């Protein structure tokens, strides 16, 4: 069947004017909705369906609510109201009753809705002078369709195209294909069988001309699968290709240095840390470069895992690099890592004793020129073992002696470009192993799409001894809230107060933080020692404030989201987030992770009204759960894939039907099938039709875009 059927590429190569009844004029109108080819026409899917046997009838329309009903026009009249507005009044009926439609300022409705016209109307039903009436309803002309299910297409008033025209054009396109050779089906029959997917011909017919809603559902499943499969084939192929064509370094994670490091830790590793270190170790031992994503909730102990990976490289005479998305974070990491690694020695045959202290350096936009010069030199000579920094690390002119392992603390802010740039560091052509860390868990299926070119490890266990954080939500910053802060401080603990988020302007945010600081220090927290941190506080001051807080010389840190990540003060046990509804789920979860880092019970108080039902649900989710993965799922449900896919618009041609939210299980299926088909590195040679389709839908530009999300 795949052999001689009509391929999607053939349909893409046919202009819509090939269809009967599509004139040049209509083609111009279609171009406005991006329909140029017969394929575009077939992929212009209905927006909804009307089941004539089940849809609400006029007699059953609920007054005062929105309803949808299929009607026939029985009379039309147009007049002007007293204040000279145009008013078209249309009487309509179905088998159960009649209804009046009125349209203000839409004189053209008189012509559109001539007597006998059938249309689907959607709007709010009111009672007016004892009659049911809809004012300015949405109207979809459906033409004289006889089927039980009526497909309603997104119509374009601007282009002058109505749903029944799309309906007949899609039908014509279908007729042409099926009268001829039928659709080629590039997906192997056994795949279709094992996931009970209908064939492609059935799918296109079922989405445009279904005989039942069951057929719509089956068609949708298959078309969704195809969209997701194409993406996964592209991602898995890229990943496999990279693995087969680049030369990496072999590192042994079981060396002396790593053992020494684990020996000096003042805790034992969690099972999850041991497992992920094993997974990473296996990757590092392979001669092909690692590309792994380490997902772990705030406080799950990713740093130790990352440092372990870098030390495996250092043990073998290579270097490690750790990139953070901001300077503050890089500084935090530098501080933390240096502390973890004090007293560690690295093998160095050029020294008298055969070893020297491990050298960790920091390079950010704030590093002074002389310091930068020193680092540059020592880095190229191999005297710096671990370099921590920001994007500055991938700036030109920075040469490592031999970069072995790169850790990217991504926090959703790095793109694949940066990952790619880092892969080209060594003069001898070797490519370092890459570990990407994210503290904002994203749902598995979304990770498969956004990070589809990476393997995934998950730290799904918290180090022991933490008491879970209790979260509450109050609408007002009342006396109780500040009493909670005061009593924690009285008990010897510390607190954070997070100021309202002002996303549009760092200056405004800083000002509001200063106001909050002033209010608190002059009011409810007057007797406590308060510090202030925001984006406009200078480095030295910031450092000073942080170290005073760390040492316990400050009781309360009033701060903006600059403390979102990396800040680690186990003695802080309470966090108050002002105007909490302004923050997203992930951000609140990150912020909350600043408390509950020690053994004392901690609490988080979310303050402020929730202006929308979505924001209310977000806050309730945080009160209910401290599990980042669970929260990520809620976030996906509430906000959809847009947030996860970031800038990436839905592809021009693809992901028209599929949703990462609704179709989670199909993402997994598509991944599985893609790995089955192309995981061995030989590509799609056995499936030329499928290969061609991937190229068709995910051409160069499109797939680059996909990987940049």
Residues contributing to the site for ligand ADP (CB under 6 A): 267, 269-270, 273, 296, 298-304, 439, 463, 568, 597
d(CA 457, CA 280): 8
Helices (H), 288-356: 302-315, 327-340
Residue environment code for 324-343, b if the CB has 16+ CB neighbours within 10 A, otherwise e: bbbbbbbbbbbbbbeebbee
3-state SS, one letter per residue, for 660-680: CCCCHHHHHHHHHHHHHHHCC
In the complex, least distance from residue 561 CB atom to ligand ADP, rounded to whole angstroms: 16
* 270 binds, options ligand ADP, Mg ion, none, Cβ within 5 to 8 A by partner type: ligand ADP
Size of the site for Mg ion (CB under 5 A): 1
Dist CA 585 CA 412 (whole Å):
14
Which of 279, 654 has the CB closer to ligand ADP? 279
Kind plus residue range of the DSSP H or E element containing 587 = helix 585-592
Write down the least CB distance from residue 554 to ligand ADP, Å.
19
Residue nearer to Mg ion on the CB measure, 182 or 463 = 463
Q: Which does 244 bind (CB under 5 to 8 A by kind): Mg ion, ligand ADP, none?
A: none
Token pair of 500 as six digits = 């309202």
Q: Which is nearer to ligand ADP, 121 or 567 (CB)?
A: 567
Question: Please, which residue, 303 or 390, has the CB nearer to Mg ion?
Answer: 303
1 binds, among Mg ion, ligand ADP, none (CB under 5 to 8 A by kind): none
The label of the residue with tokens 């279709």 reads 192
The entry of Mg ion, ligand ADP, none near residue 562 (CB within 5 to 8 angstroms by kind) is none
Burial of 90 (0-12, 13-18, 19+ CB in 10 A): buried
Residue 327 interacts with which of Mg ion, ligand ADP, none, CB < 5 to 8 Å by class: none
Least distance from C-beta 693 to Mg ion, angstroms? 42
- Tally Cβ neighbours within 10 Å of residue 696: 18
Closest to ligand ADP by CB, 298 vs 673, is 298
- Residues present in the chain in total: 709
* 301 binding partner (options Mg ion, ligand ADP, none; Cβ < 5 to 8 Å by kind): ligand ADP
Query: What's CA 44's distance to the chain center, in Å?
Result: 25
Sign of CA dihedral 464, 466, 467, 472: negative
Distance of closest approach, residue 296 Cβ to ligand ADP, in angstroms? 5
CA distance 709 to 465: 37
Choose from Mg ion, ligand ADP, none: what does 319 bind? Cβ within 5-8 Å by kind.
Answer: none
To ligand ADP, the closest distance from the beta carbon of 437 in angstroms equals: 7
Which of 61, 56, 54 is CA-nearest to residue 125?
A: 61
CB 48 within 8 A of CB 60: no
* Per-residue tokens: 465: 């001894």
Residues 303-322 within binding reach of Mg ion (CB under 5 A): 303
Give the shortest CB-296-to-Mg ion separation in angstroms: 9
Q: Which of 133/300 has CB closer to ligand ADP?
A: 300
- The interface partner of residue 463, options being Mg ion, ligand ADP, none and the CB cut-off 5 to 8 Å by kind, is ligand ADP
Binding span for Mg ion by CB under 5 A among 80-88, 299-307, 358-366, 581-589: 299-307
Please give the Cα distance from 271 to 276 (Å, whole number).
9
User: Least distance (Å) from Mg ion to the CB of residue 412?
Assistant: 14
Nearer to Mg ion, 303 or 364 (CB): 303
Residue whose beta carbon is closest to Mg ion: 303
* Shortest reach from residue 346's CB to ligand ADP, in Å: 22
* Residue 406, strand partner residues: 321, 434
Q: Residue 709 Cβ, how far from Mg ion at the closest point, in Å?
A: 23
Cβ atoms of residues 308 and 280 within 8 Å: yes
Q: Which of 558, 589, 581 lies closest to 474 in space, CA to CA?
A: 581
Q: Of 186 and 596, which CB lies nearer to ligand ADP in the complex structure?
A: 596
Identify what 125 binds: ligand ADP, Mg ion, none; CB under 5 to 8 Å per kind.
none
The rounded distance, in Å, linking the Cα atoms of 677 and 685 is 10
Positions in the binding site for Mg ion (CB under 5 A): 303
């Amino acid at each position: 069947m795949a052999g001689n059927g009509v391929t999607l590429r053939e349909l893409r190569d046919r202009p819509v004017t090939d269809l009967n009844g599509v004139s040049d004029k209509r083609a111009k109108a279609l171009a406005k909705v991006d329909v140029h080819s017969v394929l575009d026409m077939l992929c212009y899917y209905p927006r909804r369906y009307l089941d004539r046997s089940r849809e609400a009838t006029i007699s059953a329309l609920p007054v005062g609510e929105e309803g949808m009903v299929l009607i026939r026009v029985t009379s039309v009249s147009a007049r002007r109201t007293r204040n000279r507005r145009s008013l078209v009044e249309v009487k309509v009926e179905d088998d159960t009753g009649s209804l009046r439609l009125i349209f203000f300022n839409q004189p053209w409705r008189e012509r559109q809705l001539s007597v006998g016209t059938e249309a689907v109307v959607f709007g709010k039903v009111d009672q007016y002078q004892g009659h049911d009436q809809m004012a300015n309803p949405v109207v979809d002309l459906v033409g004289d369709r006889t089927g039980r299910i009526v497909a309603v297409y997104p119509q374009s008033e601007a282009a002058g195209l109505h749903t029944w025209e799309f309906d007949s054009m899609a039908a014509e396109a279908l007729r042409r294909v099926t009268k001829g050779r039928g659709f080629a089906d590039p997906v192997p029959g056994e795949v279709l069988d094992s996931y009970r997917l209908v064939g492609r011909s059935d799918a296109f017919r079922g989405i445009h001309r279904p005989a039942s809603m069951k057929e719509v559902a089956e068609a949708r499943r298959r078309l969704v699968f195809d969209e997701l499969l194409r993406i996964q084939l592209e991602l898995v192929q890229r990943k496999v290709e990279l693995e087969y064509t680049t030369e990496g370094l072999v590192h042994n994670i079981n060396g002396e240095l790593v053992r020494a490091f684990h020996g000096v830790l003042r805790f034992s590793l969690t099972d999850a840390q041991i497992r992920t270190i094993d997974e990473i170790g296996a990757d590092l031992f392979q001669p092909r470069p690692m590309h792994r994503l380490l997902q772990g909730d705030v406080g799950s102990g990713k740093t130790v895992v990352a440092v372990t990976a870098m030390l495996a490289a250092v043990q073998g005479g290579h270097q490690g690099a750790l990139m953070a998305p901001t300077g503050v974070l890089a500084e935090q990491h530098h501080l933390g890592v240096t502390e973890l690694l004090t007293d560690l020695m690295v093998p160095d045959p050029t020294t008298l004793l055969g070893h020297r202290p491990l050298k960790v350096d920091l390079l950010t936009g704030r590093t002074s020129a002389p310091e930068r010069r020193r680092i540059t030199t020592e880095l190229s000579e191999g005297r710096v073992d671990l370099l921590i920094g920001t994007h500055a690390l991938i700036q030109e002119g920075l040469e490592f002696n031999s970069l072995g392992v790169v850790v990217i603390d991504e926090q959703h802010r790095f793109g694949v470009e940066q990952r790619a740039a880092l892969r080209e560091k060594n003069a001898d052509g070797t490519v370092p192993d890459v570990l990407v860390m994210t503290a904002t868990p994203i749902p598995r299926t979304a990770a498969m799409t956004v990070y589809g070119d990476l393997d995934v490890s998950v730290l799904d266990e918290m180090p022991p001894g933490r008491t879970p954080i209790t979260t509450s939500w109050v609408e007002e910053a009342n006396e109780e809230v500040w009493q909670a802060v005061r009593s924690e401080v009285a008990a010897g603990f510390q607190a954070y107060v997070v100021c309202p988020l002002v996303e549009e302007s760092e200056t405004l945010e800083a000002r509001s933080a200063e106001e909050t600081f002033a209010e608190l220090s002059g009011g409810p927290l007057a007797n406590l020692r308060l510090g202030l941190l925001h984006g406009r506080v200078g480095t030295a001051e910031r450092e000073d404030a942080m170290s005073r807080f760390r040492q316990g010389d400050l009781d309360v840190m009033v701060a903006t989201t600059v403390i979102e990540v990396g800040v680690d003060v186990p003695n802080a046990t309470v966090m108050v987030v002002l105007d909490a509804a302004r923050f997203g789920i992930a951000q609140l979860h990150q912020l909350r992770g600043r408390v509950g880092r020690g053994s004392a019970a901690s609490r988080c108080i979310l303050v402020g009204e929730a202006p929308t039902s979505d924001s209310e649900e977000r806050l309730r989710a945080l009160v209910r759960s401290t599990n980042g993965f669970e929260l990520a799922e809620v976030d996906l449900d509430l906000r959809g894939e847009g947030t996860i896919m970031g800038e990436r618009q839905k592809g021009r041609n693809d992901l028209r039907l599929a949703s990462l939210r609704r179709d989670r299980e199909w993402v997994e299926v598509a991944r599985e099938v893609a790995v089955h088909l192309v995981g061995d590195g030989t590509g799609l040679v056995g499936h030329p039709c499928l290969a061609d389709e991937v190229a068709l839908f995910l051409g160069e530009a499109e797939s680059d875009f996909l990987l940049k999300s």
